[in-house]
Structure 1
Amino acid sequence: MQEKKKLLMLGASSFQIPCIKYAKSEGYHVITCDYCPDNPGHKYSDEYHNVSTTDLQLVLKLARKLEIDGILAYASDPAAPTAAFVAEKMGLPGNPYKSVKTLSEKDLYRSFLRLNKFNTPWYGGFNTLKDFSSSSSQFTYPVIVKPVDSSGSKGISAVNDFWEMDKAITHATQFSRSNRFIVEEFIEKKYPQLDGDIFVHNGKIIAYYLGDQRNDVAINPFVPSSINYPSLLPDFIHDKIKSELQRAIDLLKIKFGGFNIEVIVDEKDEIYLIEIGARNGGNCIPDIIKCASNVDMIKMSVDASMEVEPKILNRKNIEKFYTSYVIHSNKDGKFKSVKLDDSISQYVLDIRLMVKEGGDVYKFNGSNCTVGVGLLEFPNLNVRNKMMDKIEELIAVELE
C-alpha cells in the first residue's frame, strides 16, 4: 500500500478547519502544529505537534523529521514566513522566503513599495516613542499607528497629535512579536476600503475577488466587520488594482498561492496597496468567494502546496449579493447565543461560531475578538443594503 503524502498545516484555528478537512478528503496525511493544543482544528488532523508556527528552526526540524511533502500557512499571517522558509530549505513548493518576510512586516513592505515607486503613505518604522520623537516633525496629523508584524487589524490606533502617541505605541507593541511599530499618514478614502483574496499560479493572477469592506465605526473603525461581493467600485479601478498587484508579484518573484489584499483608493483615484498578505484571508473570505463565484481557493491552496495544478472549475459570474459578516459584540461578557431575527434568516447560508457557550467574549477591537462569521446571500442590492444597515441587531450576540 502506497504511503500517504504528508501536508504540514501551520495552525488549526476555526478558520483553518475547512482547509484541513479538504486536505484530508484528498487522502493526504495532515499534520497540524502550533502552541495551542486546544485549537479546534487539531481534532480533524491525523497528528498534532506542539511547536510554535513562528519558530522557523523548530518547524524546519519537525518538517525534516516527519519528511513532509508540502507545507501550508492557510489564513495565518504570522505563519506565512515560516512556511516559505521551510519550503525553501526543503525544496518544497513555496514562495521566496525573503519576499514573504517583506510582505509580512509592514515597515519592510512599505520600503518595498517606496523603492519600486508604488503609491504609499508617508511612513516610518520605530522601536520606541523616543525613536519616533526624533522624526515626528516629518509627519502631518492625523496618523495611524500599527504593529509591524500583527494581523487581523489588532493594535491599530488613529492619533491626532503627538501627546496621544505614547498610548497608541503601547497598544501597538502589545500585539507585535518584535515590539516594533509603524506610523503612517492618514489617507482620505474616496470609496470603501477593498478587501479580499487573489490566487496566483505560475506567477500570474488567475483569480481576483476583492469586495467592499464595511466597519462597525461605533466600536472600531479599523476592524472589518463585513466584506460585500461583488464590489460596487467601477471596473477601471479594479483594472488599476490588478495591474499594480501583478507588478508587485513580478517584482517579488511570487510563484503561487492565495493572497489576502487590502486596498485604499484616494480622492484622485490613486491606488494604495495597503496590505498583500502572503496567505488566504480569514473571516471565511475564501468560503464566501466560493459561494459567490464557485472558485474554490481552499482547494487551490492545498493542491498547489502539494504540487497539483490548481485548476478553476465551473467559474461563474457573481449574480447575487454576498456578504461575509463578522459576528461581534460591543462589550465584554460571557457568550450565551447568537440570535437571528426572522427577517434575516432566509438570507443566511451558514453561521460559524468561534466561541462556545459560556466562553469569553470581548469588545470588537480586532479579529481576535470575533464571535463567529455569517455567510449571507441576498437577491438584490436593495435587500442587502436594508439588512446590512442594521445587521448588528439582526444577528445579535447575546451575553449571559
Structure 2
Amino acid sequence: MKRIMMLGAGSLQLNAIRRIKEMGHQVVASDYLESSPGKKLSDYAVMADTFSYEETLEGAKKYDIDAIMTTGTDQPVLTAALVSEALGLKSSLSSEQALWVTNKKLMKEIFIKHDIPTVEQVFLKKDFIDIPFDPPYVMKPLDSQGQRGIYKVRSKKEVRDLIGQTLSYSRQDEILLEKFYENQEVTVSGWVRDGMVYVLTITDRVTFSSDEHIGVCLSHEYPTIHQAYLDDLESLTRKICKAFEIENGPIYFQFLIGQEGIMANEIACRIGGAYEDMTIPFVTGFDILKHQIDQVLGIRHPVKVERNNQVFSTQLFFCKPGKISDIKIDALKQEDYIMDIGVNYKIGDVISTTQNASQRAGYMVITGPDEERLTENISKAYDLLEILDEERNLVIRGKRFYR
C-alpha cells in the first residue's frame, strides 16, 4: 500500500481519488477548503492552497507520502513537480518543465522559439504605453485557470480599465494580451511514453459564444468535426512535445482553428478537466488514469490503444440564476446512455450569474453508437435533468454542438 497526495479535492479529482483507493492505496487530499467532497472520500486531509509549494510540502512531509499528483487542473502541476523534487519522488516533469506549461509567458516564448504557430501577443504591465496590434484583444492572467480573469475587449481603454481585474487572478505583475482570432477550438488529449507521443482523442471544445464568457467551456464533442486537420494536429502535438522536452505522462493541448489555420492556444501536462479519465478509455481502451497513478509510483505499463466507433458528448452545463429548491437526477442515472453525471450544487444553494467556469452547475457524459442516437440521447437527458427553484427548471439546455 502506498500513500498518494492528490492536489485538489473537488469534482474534477473525485474519480482519481476513488481509483487510487480501489487500487489499494491511501489518499491524502489537499486543498484550501474543509468541505471539498474529495476529502470525505480520502484517508487523510490537508488544508493547503494547491498553488502553494510551501503549504503543500508541509502536508506531504506530515503524512510521509509516496507520490503526489493532480488531475483536471493546471496550476497544481507545478506544485506537484516542486514537491516531488524536494522529496525525491517520481515525476514526469521537472519543476522547470512544469513552470513552462503553467506560465503563459514562458509557454508563448517557447512556441515562438520553436516556430509553433500561435496568435500575435504582447505582455503588459499596468503602466503600459502602447499595444503593437489592433483590437479586438483577449486579456489573460499568466498563471490562472478556469477562465478566471479572461476578457475580450475592443480598445486600449478597455484594457486599462480591466487590467487590474485580470491581475487580481495572477501572482505576476503583467498580463498576456492576444490579438483575437475567430476560431473553433479543439483539444488533443494524449499520453507520452519515452518520447513517443500517442494521440488518444481530439475533441471539439465548445465555448460560450458571448464575449462576456469567452473561453468558458460548454461541452467536449467527439469526434471532432475538423477531420481535415487530424494529421496536422497530430504533427503539431508531437512538435510541441519535443519543444517542451515532454518525455512521459499525460498531455492536454488546446488549439484554435480559423481562417489562418491551426494556432496553438495553451498546453497542459495533465488529464483534462472534461472527465477524460472516463471518455478516453471508452473510445480507445487506454486507461489513462491508471497509467498516471502507476506512473507517479514508478510503475510502467505498455501503451495499448484499441479504437472503436463510439461517439460521446461531455455536457458541462450551467444554470440560470436562482435559489435551488430541488435537484432531480436519479432517473438519469438509470439511463444506459449516461456514462456519468454530477451536480456541483446542493439544495438551498444560490446560483449567481455566470462569470467563469467555477459557476458550472454540473456535467453529463452522454454516449451513443452513432451521431443520430447521440443527438437523441442528449435531448432525452435534458428532458430529465431538473435543477429547480420555486418556479422553474434553472438548467440551460445543451445540445450536440457543431453538428
Interval containing the TM-score (normalised by the shorter chain): 0.7 to 0.9
Q: Do the aligned partners of residues 399 and 178 (structure 1) sit closer, same or farther apart at CA in structure 2, a change above 3 Å counting? A: farther
Correspondence 1:82 to 2:75 = no
TM-score norm. by structure 1 comes to 0.88
1-structure distance, mates of 2:379, 2:179: 30
Q: 1:392, CA displacement in angstroms? A: 6.8
For 2:31 and 2:360, how far apart are their aligned partners in 1?
20
- Matches of 1:383 and 1:362, distance apart in 2: 34
- 8 Å Cα contact 2:208-2:214 kept in structure 1: yes
One-letter code of the match for 2:103?
Answer: E
Aligned counterpart for 1:11 among listed residues 8, 12, 30? 8
For structure 2, the 5+ residue unaligned runs are 391-403
Determine if contact 2:367/2:377 at 8 Å carries over to the other structure.
no
Match of 2:107 in 1: 109
Cα distance 1:357–1:161, how it changes in 2: closer, same or farther (>3 A)? Answer: same
CA distance in 1, matches of 2:218, 2:162: 22
Partner of 1:222: 215
Structure 2 CA distance for aligned equivalents of residues 114 and 380 of structure 1:
40
**Following TM superposition, by how much is the alpha carbon of 1:304 offset from its aligned partner in structure 2, in angstroms?**
0.8
Q: Does 1:287 align with 2:282?
A: no
Residues 208-239 of structure 1 show CA distances to partners (whole Å, capped at 9, x for unaligned) of 2120122342573421100011122225x222
- For 2:49, give the aligned amino acid: S
Shift of 1:169: 2.1
Which residue of the partner structure matches residue 205 of structure 2? Answer: 213
Match of 1:187 among 181, 189, 195: 181
Deviation at 1:146, TM superposition (A): 1.1
**Superposed CA offset, 1:272-314 (max 9, x none):** 221111221113232222233332221111111111114445x
- Say which SS state the counterpart of residue 377 (structure 1) adopts: strand
User: For residue 393 of structure 2, what is the aligned residue in structure 1?
Assistant: none
Paired with 1:335 and 1:371, the residues of 2 have a C-alpha distance of: 14
Verify: 1:200 aligned to 2:192, yes or no: yes
CA distance in 1, matches of 2:166, 2:173: 8
Q: Deviations over 1:141-186 (max 9, x none)?
A: 1111111111122221111122222343244223224354210011
1:273 alignment partner in structure 2: 264
**Aligned position for 1:348:** 338
For 1:366, the equivalent position in structure 2 comes to 356
Measured in 1, the distance between the counterparts of 2:173 and 2:388 equals 35
Q: Which of the residues 91, 98, 117 maps onto 1:119?
A: 117
Task: Say which SS state the counterpart of residue 67 (structure 1) adopts.
Answer: coil
Any residues of structure 2 matched to 1:140-155 within 5 Å, and which? Answer: 140-155=134-149
Paired letter, 1:222: G
Q: How does 1:1-400 map onto structure 2 within 5 Å?
A: 4-94=1-91, 95-128=93-126, 130-131=127-128, 134-136=129-131, 138-178=132-172, 180-189=174-183, 192-217=184-209, 220-234=213-227, 237-269=229-261, 271-312=262-303, 315-331=305-321, 333-334=323-324, 336-337=326-327, 347-385=337-375, 395=385, 397-400=387-390
Decide which moves more: 212-221 or 256-265. Answer: 212-221
Counterpart of 2:215, as a letter, is F
Secondary structure (helix, strand or coil) at the match of 1:110 reads helix
Change (3 A) 1:179 1:397: farther
Q: Which amino acid aligns with 1:230?
A: P
In structure 2, the CA distance between the partners of 1:326 and 1:396, relative to structure 1 (3 Å rule), is farther
TM-score normalised to the size of structure 2?
0.87
Q: Percent identity?
A: 22
Q: Give the aligned CA root-mean-square deviation in angstroms.
A: 2.7
Q: Distance in 2 between matches of 1:316 and 1:362?
A: 43
Which range moves more in the overlay, 106-115 or 347-356?
347-356
Q: Distance in 1 between matches of 2:58 and 2:143?
A: 24
| Equivalences, count | 387
- SS of match in other structure, 2:340: strand
Tell me, yes or no, if the aligned pair for 2:32 and 2:47 is still in contact at 8 Å.
yes
Q: Which amino acid aligns with 2:135?
A: Y
Deviations 1:349-390 (A, max 9, x none): 321112111123233332211111101013322344567689
Q: Return 140-149 or 60-69, whichever deviates more.
A: 60-69
- Looking at structure 1, the residues matched to 186 and 55 of structure 2 have their Cα atoms a distance apart, in angstroms, of 36
CA distance in 2, matches of 1:78, 1:126: 21
Cα deviation 1:60-119 (Å, max 9, x = unaligned) = 343344332211022221211011111223332211111111111112211111122111
Equivalent-residue separation in structure 2 for 1:225 and 1:46 (angstroms): 33
